[in-house]
Amino acid sequence: MRKYYYFLNLKMLIFASKIILKLNDFIYSGHESPIESVSFSWSAPSNIALIKYWGKKEPQLPANPSISFTLNNCKTETTLSVEKKNNDDTNFSVEVFVDGKLKEDFKPKILSFFERIVLYQPFLKEYHFKIETHNTFPHSSGIASSASGMAALALCLMSLEEAQNLEMTSDFFYKKASFLARLGSGSACRSVESEVVVWGKNKSIKGSTDLYGIPFPYKIHPKFINYQDTILLVDKGTKQVSSSVGHSLMDNHPFAVHRFRQAHQNLEKITESLTTGNLDDFISIVESEALTLHSMMMTSQPYFILMKPNTLKIIEKVWEFRKETSLPICFTLDAGANVHLLYPEFVKGEIINFIENELTQFCENNSYICDSLGLGAYQFSI
């Protein structure tokens, strides 16, 4: 009998995770919030896209599907402390502390995030929020913290919602956290749970949706377990083109329609490589995606070159090294000059030697960050 219930529960769990939630499912239906004061802490990772999200429509919906590796070491740790307001003030009340210092300049971003999500969490107006946040990677590293930062905050807000609705399922908790994070920064919805995350509807990925990220629904080949990502810091400055400006370059871009179609095809191809372990195909799709992202920026109006001479030197060295050694290393790029080197754990020794001997000379102050595939966000206590 017990066994029967176990299977029934397991079946219900699998069924629940396959349900695609719709926009209205995320609208909060509770009433007055009963919580007076509480705090929650979440750590959320950064992620690196293999198939790139580039181009969006309102409200922060992707023009094409994307897939990413979740990182393990580069993350944001956030503590959210809330106090119920004792007045009828209907404005949001927020203070943001970064590394222990009050940051007025971070406030507008949080306020516009709250504005976007208040429909889904109306209780945001009932509290004063103190947000204390810290990144494990240096501020001046050229690594964007919006994905990990928005994901950590969305998870804290979901903990607050869960405290008011104890019947919430964990499936709903994570889906809504990803949904809210997406409204803060698109790629943040891929920083919530699981090692490999798909965001954006694609006909061959079960459960995929534009509204939130989902764990890659197939088993990844053992070659990808603990896959490495070494980030070469070519340019530690802030982004030359902000994400919002960058995405808007895809509106009326002459190659947009073709690019969006290609992203669907590349997602289907990379799904195959991730499940079969075909590293040659994986490498060629990942590098082509990175170069396509940059070529979209080079051919938009206005146009930009976001690589630096040292980015190209590194790419050439990687190609030379791969030809000589046949080791499965490849690069990918964000919308900037830094280079992410992706490779399986079993070649780590050789690759780190190569980086130390031949690539650090192209990095600002010889700096690089070693990271690898991580499991997703987690709650912690302080």
Judged by the rule CB under 6 A, the positions of this chain that interact with ligand DP6 are: 49, 52-54, 60, 66, 144, 146, 185-187, 243-244, 247, 293, 334-335
CB closer to ligand DP6, 162 vs 287: 287
Cβ at position 90, least distance to ligand DP6 in Å: 27
Cβ at position 266, least distance to ligand DP6 in Å: 12
CB closer to ligand DP6, 175 vs 247: 247
Identify the CA nearest to 68 among candidates 88, 53, 84. Answer: 53
> Residue 212 contacts by C-beta under 8 Å, 6 or more apart in sequence?
21, 175, 176, 178, 179, 182, 189, 199
Cβ at position 247, least distance to ligand DP6 in Å: 5
Confirm if 210 and 178 have CB atoms less than 8 A apart: no
Confirm if 228 and 73 have CB atoms less than 8 A apart: no
CB closer to ligand DP6, 82 vs 250: 250
Cβ at position 277, least distance to ligand DP6 in Å: 23
CB closer to ligand DP6, 55 vs 344: 55
What count of residues does the chain have?
382
Q: Where are the beta strands (DSSP E) in 200-283?
A: 213-215, 228-232
Cβ count within 10 A of residue 38: 14
CB closer to ligand DP6, 283 vs 293: 293
Q: Distance between CA atoms of 99 and 102, rounded to whole angstroms?
A: 9
CB closer to ligand DP6, 105 vs 167: 105
Taking CB atoms, the residue at the shortest distance from ligand DP6 is 186
Cβ at position 88, least distance to ligand DP6 in Å: 33
CB closer to ligand DP6, 244 vs 366: 244
Q: Distance between CA atoms of 105 and 10, rounded to whole angstroms?
A: 47
Q: Distance between CA atoms of 122 and 31, rounded to whole angstroms?
A: 9
* Cα angle, residue 169 at apex, residues 164 and 175 outer, rounded to 5°: 100
Cβ count within 10 A of residue 304: 16
Cβ at position 66, least distance to ligand DP6 in Å: 5
Cβ at position 47, least distance to ligand DP6 in Å: 7
Residue 349's Cα: distance from chain center in Å? 28
